[in-house]
Amino acid sequence: MSTLGLPTPLPLGEAVEGVVDWLLDHAQPLFDLVFRLVDGLTGALESLLLLPPPWLAVLAIALLGAWRIGLGFALLSLLALAVVVGIGLWVPMMATLALVLAATLICLAVGFPLGIFCAGSGRLWRLVRPLLDLMQTMPAFVYLIPAVMFFSTGRVPGTIATVIFAMPPAVRLTRLGLREVPGDLIEAGLAYGCTPRQLLWKVQIPQALPTLMAGLNQTILLALSMVVIASMIGAGGLGDVVLRGIQQLDVGLGFEGGIAVVILAVILDRLSQSLGGRPSRGPGRRLRDLAELWGVSR
């Protein structure tokens, strides 16, 4: 009992510190391997994104938007990205996009298979679900403490913290999509002699594709929402611009970084949503159809 008559607090924090110290003493080679892999992936993506000149990359994104969504979205993307280039934030935007893409790829590489296994095993789902709840409800700042202890500062701990925060939707929606496949389709596949692997890839995943793409969309947006928080441990990118605006009380700098984050979020959101269906037959599609018709008539 304490001196005030209250029960002695449980030493939960000391137990967690003990586990962390043990990992630092015995699992450092594993952390070094993870550091090299994540740093290599993020660095390769950033170099690839910065390889073309900005005007060419902006044009490519606008053409992709015209193909997947429509001509109106393509024009808005062109103007918005031209603003980003004009205010000198193209390089930080590409650094942020590289971090988001790297975190998303890791989330999908782990989350999709885990969601598939959870869809087929109720016992595994009962074990995984509390961990996903913890990952979603734990304040994001808490992730930064072990990330910095294990991986120092920079984009690697920022990517790791982003992965922890953004992975739950990939697992949950993968499981949900597969569980919602109609039973008669599964029975039909089994009647035609599908093996479990064929049933998964030829029946269940195609039917669950819209839900899987919704999981991808949510993973990307959650990863992007960690940009400013990850900048506190040196992840860089647009989050660093916003953070400097906050530290210097520079409203203009903070607004420029914030509007660049919004532009990137809108473009990623609309493009990732379009992956769940066929390319739009909006104005851009109709223009191509008219061009093809004109070529045939001649």
- CATH number assigned to the domain comprising residue 213: 1.10.3720.10
- Helical (H) or strand (E) element with 202: none
Q: Looking at this protein, which amino acid is placed at residue 49? A: L
Examine residue 287 and state whether it is found in any structural domain, yes or no: no
Examine residue 2 and state whether it is found in any structural domain, yes or no: no
Examine residue 268 and state whether it is found in any structural domain, yes or no: yes
Question: At residue 296, does pLDDT exceed 50?
Answer: no
SS3 content of the chain, % helix, strand, coil (to 5): 85, 0, 15
Distance CA 279, CA 141 (A): 39
Look at residue 289 in the predicted model and tell me its pLDDT: 45
Look at residue 277 in the predicted model and tell me its pLDDT: 60
Examine residue 49 and state whether it is found in any structural domain, yes or no: yes
Look at residue 136 in the predicted model and tell me its pLDDT: 84
The average pLDDT across 148-176 equals 89
Examine residue 57 and state whether it is found in any structural domain, yes or no: yes
Residues 257-278: tens digit of each pLDDT: 999 999 999 999 999 888 766 5
| Structural domain total, the chain | 1
Instruction: Quote the pTM value.
Output: 0.85
Examine residue 5 and state whether it is found in any structural domain, yes or no: no
Examine residue 19 and state whether it is found in any structural domain, yes or no: no
Question: At residue 287, does pLDDT exceed 50?
Answer: no
Domain residues for the domain of 250 are 27-277
Examine residue 14 and state whether it is found in any structural domain, yes or no: no
Residues 47-72: tens digit of each pLDDT: 999 999 999 999 999 999 998 898 99
